[in-house]
């Protein structure tokens, strides 16, 4: 069954091409992991993983998997020439000390003013937080990569988060399978729509009001 | 007239032959820091030895709560040896033993951000009394923490996290306990070694003193009390 | 809507050819962290470049205040470029330039314990808002610090020490700024690199990316902004 | 002109033989540096230096000096097999975190209850502190190695320090050229006298009352 909008590799490419050239970028678990597979090597982005690997890429044909070379979701990856390894203390000093140009994180909810909720739900009796709070607060730019709606169809881009927050006013860009949306001082500005998606489709799938591409500078 | 009463860490005779000797001294209620992140850097033989030891009511600090491997930290939950766990990502679907104990109320969970876990361990190792961090401020996870606005940003005061024992894993040790780790298997292992009164390392390989160049040591042996050479639980 | 406004550190094009480019941006009143301990690990070419740049009223953090070498941190005192210095051991007999400026009241000194200097730098690098330490509590050096009794021991609250620039020295760098240091020349260089908004490293040798094994990197290039290859002031 | 009591190597041997077998020991600048030259290798003491070298020894004939292998006083030393190097952050985490079995420090004054003054004098307009406070507070045992009197003849072992303190109640043992003195709950107990020194000589050179060897258990 085909779903509307970009598939995961296409969505990951939308994130990848917006990453700062030559920047250091952390990728969270889940959908964001796919960005490492879609980056143009000429962008010279260096990926940081919370586990202490700095400088990795997605596996390609011919790569030998190494059980100790994995990403945040324990997926096999490969190291680039010039990679470095640190322990978790230094890995998170990097994240918390403001050294990451961007982090790409999954989310349960993002609000119109960039609040992020991505570690627990009101119904959850048990949650994991991992590096979400460290990264959301420490990275220079927080990019959310997620499905546009929750499994039950509820919009995840909301006027105000109803889920417990990870950090306030931290998200700068949201990339879903339907669109690329920037969090601006004026509101949520649609920067790009997936080919088969109209602005009205998008607004219908979104709780917070959106600014149409033509209406945004 | 010394101010600290911990037993001396000696550079000599750190090698232990038997897993049970490696974990000797862990008692009911001990605070045990368990290294490993996901499936890498896991001191499985030491965890297995704690399971055989049978101490209970342990306070365990760990990144995960088990990944379904034969002897990861999940084994301690399966055995009912854990009273409280401090963890960052206990929700892996394979952490079924933890889940069962958590659901039944037998295990109390303190969930903390991963960077705060690393920093609290390091603070203990560095002799600090605590630190202010903005991570987690204003969230459910830090509701009981003292807060302070520093440079316009809300911070929480986090205490050091000291262990009675650290169980860690390294790729290689020399006779003095100087350690090398391999890629992502480094993880929390070094800071946990810093944070514990007694640090026990499971290593794949032991080499003579001098074989690791001084500039190539990842963690100096001064943080290591006992060395067990073992390739892992079969 | 980013929270931090520092310019991006890029993995690309860190190499600079000229010492003046290496220290470009240091202005009157800049906070400059100067690596080196005693006579080792001293970024002499970078210090010399700051002397030629001529910025004044600098706030300098350093272990020593000069050892009488041609281009150690003493040169910045000789030139009258330092307004305030944060140091642990400014009393070396060869620190004559510092001494003269200190005696005349031109330079203000903040004397801090060596471990507190390292820890304050690291706290800045790790994004902490400050930390409690027992070191220096109850002494003249911490009279103005907030204090708190933790576990029965008096602690002082120490703030992070962030630099606008760090000038450090390493033995070797690869093209991405991954660094190796040599023996005692490591010193404060890595934590200073962590603590500065812009970190400049003087290296004896540059090697291609991939030449330093990932597990053998002492300080990852993410902390390094500019690389100058130079064997030192002749 | 020969001075009474032990010479520096002899004094250093008095310190060295009291260091814990197999222990990790920091040596301060000045007189304490000589301890590295006098240790019996069979004691397997590992010397820690504040500059991050762990596992060094004094130079012997045939050693090649290396400019980057120096002790806290910038004196050339050599590394032992099994040495390790760390940065200052970790070096002082070791000191402050309680990992050192002992530190040997110089002093201006030591009081009867173990207060240490070793970083400045009331007359000093300028002082250096180095690692003194970190070590005095962090090491499990603080051993002071110093001349028994100041240059002006003033006793340095005093009832109460008149100089600004480094740390309170931290010193456990004092080794001068005249004697080895332990700081005990009952007072300053003389453990050993230099060969040509009497207890009365020692008491005359000391401000605080001493317990004679026979009077101490």
- Exposed/middle/buried for B54, CB within 10 Å: 0-12, 13-18, 19+? exposed
As a whole number of Å, the CA-based R_g of chain D is 17
Tell me, what's the ipTM? 0.96
Which residue matches tokens 């992140």? B37
- Exposed/middle/buried for A206, CB within 10 Å: 0-12, 13-18, 19+? buried
What percent of chain C is predicted at pLDDT more than 70? 95
Question: What confidence category does residue B233 fall into, taking pLDDT thresholds of 50, 70 and 90?
Answer: confident
* B56 Cα to chain A: minimum distance (Å): 23
**Tell me, what's the pLDDT at B3?**
35
In this complex, the residue of C38, C63, C139 whose CB is nearest that of residue D70 is C38
Question: What confidence category does residue C7 fall into, taking pLDDT thresholds of 50, 70 and 90?
Answer: very low
**Tell me, what's the pLDDT at C2?**
33
Q: CB C134 to CB D53 under 8 A? A: no
Contact pairs from chain B to chain D, CB under 8 Å: 105
The CA distance from A157 to A159, in Å, is 7
The HSE-up count of residue B143 (CA atoms within 13 Å, CB side) is 6
Q: What is the mean pLDDT of residues B76-94?
A: 96
* Total residues found in chain A within this entry: 217
Greater pLDDT, C214 or C10:
C214
C2-41 residues touching D, CB cutoff 8 A:
37-41
Whether A216 has a pLDDT exceeding 90, the answer reads no
**Tell me, what's the pLDDT at A2?**
65
The CA distance from B199 to B204, in Å, is 16
- Residue-wise pLDDT for C50-66, tens only, equals 999 999 999 999 999 99
Q: CB C129 to CB B148 under 8 A? A: yes
B142 touches chain A (CB under 8 A): no
Alpha-carbon dihedral C158, C199, C218, D56, rounded to 10 degrees = -60
Q: CB D92 to CB C114 under 8 A? A: yes
Q: Could you count the other beta carbons within 10 Å of the beta carbon of residue D198? A: 11
**Tell me, what's the pLDDT at B70?**
86
Q: CB C122 to CB A93 under 8 A? A: yes
Q: Is D177 a catalytic residue?
A: no
Measured in degrees and rounded to the nearest 5, phi and psi for residue C40 equal -110, 150
- Exposed/middle/buried for C122, CB within 10 Å: 0-12, 13-18, 19+? buried
DSSP string for A132-152: HHHHHHHSS-EEEE--SB-TT
Interface test with C, best of D88, D135, D168 (most C CBs within 10 A): D88
Whether D217 has a pLDDT exceeding 60, the answer reads no
The CA distance from B159 to A162, in Å, is 30
CA distances from B215 to A78, B224, C51, D49, D82 (A): 26, 18, 32, 15, 11
Q: Which two tokens stand for residue D134?
A: 């970190």
Q: Which segments within A128-217 are labelled E, that is strand?
A: 142-145, 157-158, 171-175, 179-184, 187-193, 210-211
Q: Which two tokens stand for residue C19?
A: 């010492």
Question: What confidence category does residue D32 fall into, taking pLDDT thresholds of 50, 70 and 90?
Answer: very high
- Chain C residues with CB inside 8 Å of A141's CB? 2
Instruction: List domains and CATH numbers for chain B.
Output: 28-111+162-229 (3.40.1080.10)
Q: Would you say A32 and A130 are in contact if contact means Cβ atoms under 8 Å apart?
A: no
Q: Which two tokens stand for residue B176?
A: 């003095």
Q: Which segments within chain B are labelled E, that is strand?
A: 15-16, 31-34, 58-64, 82-89, 108-111, 130-133, 147-150, 153-158, 163-174, 179-180, 196-207, 226-229
Q: What is the mean pLDDT of chain C?
A: 94
**Tell me, what's the pLDDT at B232?**
83
Whether C81 has a pLDDT exceeding 50, the answer reads yes
In this complex, the residue of C115, C141, C182 whose CB is nearest that of residue D131 is C115
Whether C9 has a pLDDT exceeding 60, the answer reads no
Assess whether chains A and D touch, using the rule of 3 or more C-beta pairs within 8 angstroms: no
Q: What is the mean pLDDT of residues C206-211?
A: 96
- Residue-wise pLDDT for B147-183, tens only, equals 999 999 999 999 999 999 999 999 999 999 999 999 9
Measured in degrees and rounded to the nearest 5, phi and psi for residue B113 equal -60, 145
**Tell me, what's the pLDDT at C70?**
86
Q: CB D130 to CB C88 under 8 A? A: yes
In CATH, the architecture of D8-208 is: 3-Layer(aba) Sandwich (3.40)
- Chain C residues with CB inside 8 Å of B123's CB? 131
Q: What is the mean pLDDT of chain B?
A: 94
Q: CB C39 to CB D74 under 8 A? A: yes
CA distances from A187 to A157, A178, A210, A212 (A): 12, 18, 7, 11
List residues bridging with A182 in a β-sheet: A173, A189
- The DSSP call for residue D177 is S
Per-residue H/E/C for C150-168: ECCEEEEEECCCCEEEEEE
- Residue-wise pLDDT for B1-55, tens only, equals 333 333 344 567 899 999 999 999 999 999 999 999 989 999 999 999 999 999 9
Whether D22 has a pLDDT exceeding 70, the answer reads yes
Catalytic option among D13, D31, D50, D58: D50
Q: Where are the domains of chain A?
A: 8-208
- Exposed/middle/buried for D209, CB within 10 Å: 0-12, 13-18, 19+? exposed
Return the closest-CA partner of residue A22 out of A46, A39, A53: A46
- Residue-wise pLDDT for A83-96, tens only, equals 999 999 999 999 99
Q: Which segments within C92-177 are labelled E, that is strand?
A: 108-111, 130-133, 147-150, 153-158, 163-174
Q: What is the mean pLDDT of residues C145-159?
A: 97
Question: What confidence category does residue D3 fall into, taking pLDDT thresholds of 50, 70 and 90?
Answer: confident
Is residue C116 classed as helix, strand or coil in its secondary structure?
helix
- Chain C residues with CB inside 8 Å of B131's CB? 123, 128-132
Q: Could you count the other beta carbons within 10 Å of the beta carbon of residue B50? A: 29
The CA distance from C192 to C180, in Å, is 15
* Total residues found in chain B within this entry: 234
Q: Could you count the other beta carbons within 10 Å of the beta carbon of residue D136? A: 28
In this complex, the residue of D83, D96, D140 whose CB is nearest that of residue B2 is D140
Question: What confidence category does residue C10 fall into, taking pLDDT thresholds of 50, 70 and 90?
Answer: low
B4 touches chain C (CB under 8 A): no
**Tell me, what's the pLDDT at B6?**
38
- Residue-wise pLDDT for A121-156, tens only, equals 999 999 999 999 999 999 999 999 999 999 999 999
Q: CB D84 to CB B127 under 8 A? A: no
C48-87 residues touching D, CB cutoff 8 A:
63, 67, 87
Q: What is the mean pLDDT of residues A183-198?
A: 96
In this complex, the residue of B128, B132, B215 whose CB is nearest that of residue C182 is B215
B38: left (phi over 0), alpha (psi -120 to 50) or beta: left
Assess whether chains B and D touch, using the rule of 3 or more C-beta pairs within 8 angstroms: yes
C183-222 residues touching B, CB cutoff 8 A:
183, 186, 214-216, 218
The CA distance from A207 to A200, in Å, is 12
CA distances from A180 to A8, A56, A114, A185, A213 (A): 14, 25, 14, 16, 10
DSSP string for C203-217: EEEEE-TTSS-GGG-
Return the closest-CA partner of residue C179 out of D67, A81, A84, A47: A84
Chain D residues at the B interface, defined by Cβ less than 8 Å, are 20-24, 44-46, 48, 53-55, 79-86, 90, 92-94, 96-99, 101, 114, 137-138, 140-142, 169-172, 183-185
Q: Would you say A71 and A49 are in contact if contact means Cβ atoms under 8 Å apart?
A: yes
Residue of chain C with shortest Cα separation from A94: C126
- Chain A residues with CB inside 8 Å of B103's CB? 125
Catalytic option among A27, A32, A34, A50: A50
Contact pairs from chain A to chain C, CB under 8 Å: 104
List residues bridging with D210 in a β-sheet: D188
* Alpha carbon D85 to its chain's center: 23
Interface test with B, best of C5, C128, C159 (most B CBs within 10 A): C128
Which residue matches tokens 């005192």? C77
Question: What confidence category does residue C234 fall into, taking pLDDT thresholds of 50, 70 and 90?
Answer: confident
Structure pTM? 0.96
Return the closest-CA partner of residue B139 out of C20, A206, A153, A120: A120
The CA distance from A150 to A107, in Å, is 10
- The DSSP call for residue B203 is E
Q: Would you say D127 and C91 are in contact if contact means Cβ atoms under 8 Å apart?
A: yes
Q: Would you say D51 and C37 are in contact if contact means Cβ atoms under 8 Å apart?
A: yes
- Chain A residues with CB inside 8 Å of B117's CB? 88
Question: What confidence category does residue C5 fall into, taking pLDDT thresholds of 50, 70 and 90?
Answer: very low
- The DSSP call for residue C104 is T
**Tell me, what's the pLDDT at D2?**
64
Residue of chain D with shortest Cα separation from B214: D84
C217: left (phi over 0), alpha (psi -120 to 50) or beta: beta
Whether C8 has a pLDDT exceeding 50, the answer reads no
Residue of chain B with shortest Cα separation from A125: B103
Residues ≥6 apart with Cβ < 8 Å to C201: C43, C168, C169, C170, C173, C177, C179, C193, C224, C226, C227, C228
Q: Which two tokens stand for residue A88?
A: 């978790």
Q: What is the mean pLDDT of chain A?
A: 95
Q: What is the mean pLDDT of residues B98-121?
A: 97
């Amino acid at each position: 069954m085909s779903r509307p909008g970009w598939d995961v590799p296409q969505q990951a490419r939308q994130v990848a091409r917006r990453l700062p050239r030559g920047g250091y970028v952390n990728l969270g678990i889940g959908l964001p992991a796919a960005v490492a597979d879609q980056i143009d090597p000429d962008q010279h982005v260096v990926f940081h993983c919370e586990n202490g690997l700095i400088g990795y890429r997605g596996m390609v044909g011919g790569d030998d998997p190494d059980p100790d070379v994995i990403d945040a979701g324990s997926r096999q990856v490969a190291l680039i020439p010039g990679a470095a390894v640190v322990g978790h203390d230094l890995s998170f000093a990097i994240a918390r000390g403001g050294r990451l140009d961007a982090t790409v994180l999954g989310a349960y909810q993002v609000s119109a003013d960039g609040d992020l909720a991505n570690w627990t739900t009101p119904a959850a009796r048990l949650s994991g937080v991992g590096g979400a709070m460290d990264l959301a607060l420490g990275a220079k730019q927080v990019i959310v990569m997620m499905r546009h709606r929750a499994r039950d169809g509820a919009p995840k881009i909301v006027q105000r988060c109803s889920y417990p927050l990870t950090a306030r006013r931290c998200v700068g860009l949201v990339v879903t399978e339907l669109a690329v949306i920037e969090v601006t001082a004026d509101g949520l500005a649609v920067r790009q729509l997936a080919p088969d998606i109209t602005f009205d489709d998008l607004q219908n799938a979104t709780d917070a009001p959106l600014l149409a591409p033509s209406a945004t500078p | 007239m010394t101010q600290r009463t911990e037993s001396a860490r000696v550079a000599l005779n750190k090698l232990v032959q038997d897993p049970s000797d490696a974990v000797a001294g862990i008692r009911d209620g001990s605070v045990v820091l368990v290294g490993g992140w996901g499936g890498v850097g896991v001191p499985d033989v030491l965890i297995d030895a704690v399971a055989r030891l049978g101490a209970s009511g342990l306070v365990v600090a760990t990144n995960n709560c088990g990944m379904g491997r034969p002897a990861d930290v999940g084994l301690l939950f399966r055995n009912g040896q854990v009273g409280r766990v401090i963890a960052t990502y206990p929700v892996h679907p394979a952490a079924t033993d933890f889940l069962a104990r958590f659901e039944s109320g037998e295990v109390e969970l303190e969930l903390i951000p991963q960077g705060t876990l690393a920093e609290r361990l390091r603070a203990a190792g560095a002799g600090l009394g605590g630190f202010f961090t903005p991570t987690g401020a204003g969230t459910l996870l830090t509701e009981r923490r003292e807060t302070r606005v520093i440079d316009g940003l809300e911070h929480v005061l986090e205490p050091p996290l000291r262990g009675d024992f650290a169980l860690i894993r390294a790729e290689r040790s020399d006779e003095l306990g100087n350690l090398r780790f391999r890629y992502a298997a480094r993880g929390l292992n070094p800071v946990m070694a810093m944070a514990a009164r007694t640090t026990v390392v499971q290593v794949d390989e032991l080499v003579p003193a001098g074989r690791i160049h001084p500039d190539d040591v990842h963690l100096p042996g001064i943080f290591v009390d006992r060395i067990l050479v073992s390739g892992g639980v079969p």
